[in-house]
Structure 1
Amino acid sequence: MTLGATYSVLCSTAHKVDAATGEHGDLLDVIRESLGLVDFRDVADEARSFLSMPQQTPRPVELNTRAPRAVVSSAEAARRLVAMSRPICRTLVETYLRARGIMAFHETGSLSFHPRCYYRPDEDGPTETWPAMIAAVTDLNGKHTGAHRTWLDPNGFNETCLGRAPIDTPRRAMGELLGHAVRFGVGCDVMTAGEGIETMLSQRTVVPAMPAIAALSAGHLSAILFPDTLRRLYIARDNDPAGNGAMATLMERASSAGIEAIVLTPQLGDFNEDLRLLGPDALRATLRVQIAPQDVARFMVLSA
């Protein structure tokens, strides 16, 4: 057996640290005998060279050093942000949603309000504070994995910003988002999925009993994870190229999982535009003809 082969056999049973410190003597003995080395330092250096370990050099003792600051993950930072926010009732968040025509405030525990949420235009820019709608992103088991921030204009709604703060990027997400979503209602065998929070709350304004999730973007919509109980999925698409792509991908994934997928299409750009500009009656009529008859009776309040 060659020296390299012998090394490989021994490495399969020895930890790198053990080999370098002499606690696993077999490897060091092979090196000593094969290379004719006498000094232990030479033997250890050869072992480290083979194992690609860095040379150990003495470090100067540092007095009064502080422990390194713990790195907070984006998911943990998101959980902290959600925890320090408060319910939306009688806050600027409720005012904002009502200004966008939304009246569905049941089962909105995933939403909260932060009066002074940090915003930084870029890495080098100064930190600003704006009021914000905070949305908790959760997995299928209800674990918080991320958060979505919508910074709001304290001066109220206008058609230019639609109630969002007049800043470059009034919406940002943080944490682990892929596969997860902002959830409204308790999941069952039927649910609807779309991109934006306002889009899904607009739909729930006229289909109040159907569970819904907001994936926050077209890319994340196409990658949502399906509950084991899901049998029929409504896809609330946005009328744009990204929405078309997400719809096609999600329909293919649902079909492969044995889930019936039905596309819901707004008359305008998205369902919040339908709600704001056409009104709730028009939105209700649009959805009623696209939803399966048994789900109309089950989830839509016909007398509304």
Structure 2
Amino acid sequence: ASEDEDDDEESVARAQERLLQALMARAARELPRQELERDWDVLGELGSGSYGRVLLAQPRRGGARVALKLLSKERTPRWGFLREFCTHLCLRGALTCLQVLPLAFETPTEFGFAQELAPAGDLCGLLTPGVGLPEPQVKRCAAQVSAALAYLHGHALVHRDLKLDNVLAFDRECHLVKLGDFGLTRVLGWQVRPAPGAAPYAAPELWQVRSGEARLRLEPALDTWAFGVLLFALLTGTFPWASPARSDPAFRRFRAWHRRTCAGRAPPRTWRGLGEAARRLLRGLLRVLGTPQALALQVLPQVGQGVL
């Protein structure tokens, strides 16, 4: 990118961070206390993890069913909760990003906010292991996730945690899917310690630098790499490698093929079921960090042309 483009990106990033800080300050002042059992009719649990839990719930005063995300105060700092909630608020114009109700709250032990319910669950639950999803569904998912990432990147945000579990489906045929879980999302240029995320999705630059050594500048290419891995999983029902490490045989074979494709080298076995156009698209996404990526321009037209 040119110096002018870099300056524009940094200007957008600074403005986005100022907006987030203002929203966080307001949310902190207005954060009400609630009693879960008093204010919500809990109908079941949708998921749980180290972060906390997600409940199927309905306001006792009436209203639609929602996915109630509750974050443990023992594990989640107040500012981390506020940043996740306010990042959601910044994305209310993105139809391909999961939407929240504009009200956060706290209980004695948890922080919480309500987000729209995705009845079909996440893509991980829809996927047939070793098979993937039918081609029409993959095309729909690719277009919508690409649009969500393009919106984030256009607003100087990097998701940092793109994976099957964080793409939510509103129907089993994937006519509507949305990107969710913005707990790790930060402004472009944010300096983070390069600890790896979910191993198969992590870019090699994150994996190869030891946690705690240096700090890495966040770039959209982190999401682009994870998007390539996600598309591979949707197409095949498996991951291309266990981790993007030199010690991983599948990753070594991919990198060797990636470097020698122009010489006509045959693709690794796990890639041979893909069409040439799909392989070319994935190679474009799975490039080293620092390579300029125009995600929406690169993916959306090719999806429309039946590449996948």
TM score, norm. by length of structure 1: 0.28
| TM-score of the superposed pair, with normalisation by structure 2 | 0.28
Structure with greater helix share of residues: 2
Give the number of the structure with larger relative contact order, counting CA–CA contacts within 8 Å between residues 6 or more apart: 2
